[in-house]
Amino acid sequence: MATLDLFGSPAEGARDWLAPQAVVLRGRALSCADELLDAVAAVIAQAPLRQMVTPGGLTIAVASTNCGVLGWTSDRRGYRYSREDPVTGRRWPAMPACFAQLARQAAADAGFPGFEPDACLVNQYLPGTRLSLHQDKNERDFGAPIVSVSLGMAAVFLFGGHERADRAFKVNLHHGDVAVWGGADRLRYHGVMPLEDAPYAQLGSRRINLTFRKAG
């Protein structure tokens, strides 16, 4: 496995390219991180974090919720986007303005102008939680990029190829980093290594990831 040696805290404003159309914008969310965290708490108060079940019946380690018009869900019937939260029976909370603005601007910085996300998946990782290699492919078209914002504890992100077995880069993602991938790199496999317990400031032993997509 190739390692992009980016441990330690890279300089805010640095750009680490993982592939021609995949980049980590270092510290891109730092200036609005407190506002993002307040908004995350408000979303979770309306649509609680829950561990979803895969179609195969396995419980997903990451706890999730959503905001925006569409929310990603998984259960025994499959993976899909829905307008209602199956737990509350209500629409997902609206996407906070600071979320949409950051996602739009980060996408443009990464070479994807005009990104208008309609879905934001909020994922919570605790120490030991991992996310196995997968492709994001439940969206209607793959023309729009994925924008992924890291908050709280650092994680080792895996960014691979178009086959599950392709070698993957390991990249440390810190509080405030924003990863963006799209175009020819939109369907690359990616995942997260089991989290080490290194508590970070306000969030303690938690990592929150916001994944913005154009799903519908």
Q: Which residues bind ligand SIN (CB under 6 A)?
A: 123, 131, 148, 150, 157, 173, 190, 192, 209, 211
**Per-residue binder mask for Fe ion (CB under 5 A), 99-138, x = binder:** -------------------------------------x--
Of the pair 136, 177, the CB lying nearest Fe ion is at 136
Which residues touch 66 (CB under 8 Å, ≥6 apart)? 47, 72, 73, 85, 92, 119, 120, 121, 122
| Residue closest to Fe ion, measured at CB | 136
What's the Cα-to-Cα distance from 34 to each of 30, 61, 94, 210, rounded to whole Å? 8, 26, 19, 14
Structure tokens at 167: 């070698």
- Packing angle, helices 33-46 and 97-109, rounded to 10: 130
Return the number of the residue (70 or 192) whose C-beta is nearest ligand SIN. 192
| Smallest distance, Fe ion to C-beta of residue 110, A | 16
Residues in 132-151 at the binding interface with Fe ion, rule: CB under 5 A? 136
Are 159 and 169 a contacting pair, CB within 8 Å? Answer: yes
Residue 185 interacts with Fe ion (CB under 5 A)? no
